[in-house]
Amino acid sequence: MVTRRNKRLKSLFSRNGVNVRLVGDEQKPAVIMDESVVLSCYVKNFDLHFTKEPFSDEIVKTVKLKHEPDITRLEIQEVIELCIHRPVFRIVLKGTDLFLVGYNYLNSEDSVGRYPVFAKHKPKVYFDRVYAEKVAESLAEEGYTIDIV
């Protein structure tokens, strides 16, 4: 049920020309737009609720996540522009277009020898700049030249 709902959620945006990615808990996914902001919205059952600002209870618009949603491209753009969204932060390897996407281990069974993995797509996103800076500092201590974008 949750998988089907989340598939409809992504489809709603992609059909209307909005590039999104769902991250976090499948039950309450964060909707990341263009890898730069987390949209002020949440899903409950098969309803998508856009809120005025992050963590607000004030619902601006609700869309039923049906197979053919009743919303136009213009309406979705208007509601996105009407709401205030939070920025997300990504860690990039300086001088490249490679982002931190996760970690691997030399020995995954024992979680020994953790090392970062960088790639062009699906970067790890941080909702808090201070936390992103801490991660960047630890990577810098390991010899990586890092920027936060």
Distance CA 99, CA 91 (A): 6
- Using CA atoms of 126, 52, 4, 65 in order, give the dihedral in degrees to the nearest 10: -160
pLDDT (tens, 9 = 90+) of the chain, 149 residues, equals 899 999 999 999 999 999 999 999 999 999 999 999 999 999 999 999 999 999 998 999 999 998 888 888 999 999 999 999 999 999 999 999 999 999 998 877 777 788 999 999 999 999 999 999 999 999 999 999 999 99
Token pair in block for residue 3:
């998988």
Contact between 39 and 23 (Cβ < 8 Å): no
Q: State the amino acid at position 53 in one-letter form.
A: E
Q: pTM of the predicted model, to two decimals? A: 0.86
